[in-house]
Amino acid sequence: MSTAGPTASRTAGPSTTSPPTARVLDVLELLAGRAAEPPRLRDLVRELGLTHATAHAIMATLCDRGWAVRDATTRTFTLGPALGVAAARSAARRSRRQTAAAAVVRAFASEFGYPAGVTERLGDELVITTFDLGVCQIADVAAGDRLPFAAPFGAAFAAWEDGEGRRAWLQRGAVTSPGLADRLDAMLTATRERGFGLERSGPATSQAARLMAALRGDPRAAAMRRTVDGLLTEITARGFETDGEGDDERRAVTSIAAPVFDAHSGQVALTVSIHPIRPMSAERADALGRRLLAATAAIGAAERTAPVPSQPA
């Protein structure tokens, strides 16, 4: 992800949600919001629009797994201990991962003077959770900024998606041209084979990308959103291409991003990136990328060997 992107709204696109899963999550959210006034089965049916059979099946499964508890006297439901244990374990892993990634960001920003950051994926959004300017005093992004997880943003996440995940990423970015889709898919494959993302852009390309991204986030541009998305993707895709060694090395390296994988799901949990924003040789860019990749691999290795909080008695 380049530093050329300001906060942007979520991209509209085809739904890939699972209705049965959504119903279970609706139930859990209702239980969490009604801790002071636990609901009965009939409340779930009425408030969530479920059939009695569906509500009964969901609650029977949740209670069997310990994610919900039924009070035999009042016949109400509350969240169960298994959910708390799962949340505690996940929070502990995420906290260790975030702390380690933030340390890498500080180390790279201090050693090289380049801005560096941590980006996490939340559904179809990317959130910059840590950002260190290094010696740079001005940047186009900051911690807390959000971008859509849609082409061309988040290539270092999308590169490790399966075919369906890649297609969804392209669709959310309004990529309708088969030629452009093929170019971006080839870029994702190259990123995965290399192990890290590398983006180069000239000044004009970066400025155009910033303008398109700003226009994309303007609510008044909603009517031409798909056109803007397509232009943004086309412009930014230039940053991932090599037109020849001489031309390539004249373009600034805007971003080098390496993934950190979740030890349990195997998916990319976050990326750590540095933003030199200056021309550099292919050898130098590759050396920085390999240094960053080694650091993120160490975070993943530490997570796999770290003890997991045990379930309370």
pLDDT at 243: 46
Domains 19-84 and 89-305 share a fold: no
Adjacent-strand bridge partners of 77: 70
pLDDT at 307: 60
Pairing between strand 268-274 and 77-79?
A: unpaired
- The domain ranges of the chain are 19-84, 89-305
pLDDT at 91: 61
pLDDT in tens, 25-51: 999 999 998 988 999 999 999 999 999
Q: Which fold does the domain 19-84 belong to in CATH? A: Arc Repressor Mutant, subunit A (1.10.10)
Lowest average pLDDT, out of 15-24, 103-112, 114-123, 301-310, goes to 301-310
Contact 115, 275 (CB under 8 A): yes
Q: Is the pLDDT of residue 2 over 60?
A: no
Contacts 24+ apart (CB under 8 A), 80-83: 81/311, 81/312, 83/28
Adjacent-strand bridge partners of 119: 128, 271
pLDDT classification of 142: cutoffs 50, 70, 90: confident
Adjacent-strand bridge partners of 127: 120, 146
pLDDT at 230: 56
d(CA 4, CA 213): 8
pLDDT in tens, 255-275: 999 999 987 788 999 999 999
* Mean pLDDT of the residues in the chain: 80
pLDDT at 301: 87
Question: Before 152, cis peptide (omega within 30)?
Answer: yes
CATH superfamily of 89-305: GAF domain (3.30.450.40)
pLDDT in tens, 218-251: 566 555 555 555 555 556 555 555 444 445 566 7
Residue by residue, what is the 3-state secondary structure of the chain? Answer: CCCCCCCCCCCCCCCCCCHHHHHHHHHHHHHHHCCCCCCEHHHHHHHHCCCHHHHHHHHHHHHHHCCEEECCCCCEEEECHHHHHHHHHHHHHHHHHHHHHHHHHHHHHHHHCCCEEEEEEECCEEEEEEEECCCCCCCCCCCCCEEECCCCCCHHHHCCCCHHHHHHHHHHCCCCCHHHHHHHHHHHHHHHHHCCEEEEECHHHHHHHHHHHHHHCCHHHHHHHHHHHHHHHHHHHHHHCCCCHHHHHHCEEEEEEEEEECCCCCCEEEEEEECCCEECCHHHHHHHHHHHHHHHHHHHHHHHHCCCCCCCC
- Angle in degrees, CA 200, 206, 212, rounded to 5: 130
pLDDT at 260: 95
CB atoms within 10 A of CB 152: 29
- Which residues are CB-neighbours of 232 under 8 A, at least 6 positions away? 152, 173, 209, 212, 213, 216
Adjacent-strand bridge partners of 126: 121, 147
83: its two tokens: 């959910």
pLDDT at 263: 79
> What is the arithmetic mean of pLDDT over 184-196?
93
More confident residue, 306 or 161: 161
Q: What is the pTM of this model?
A: 0.63
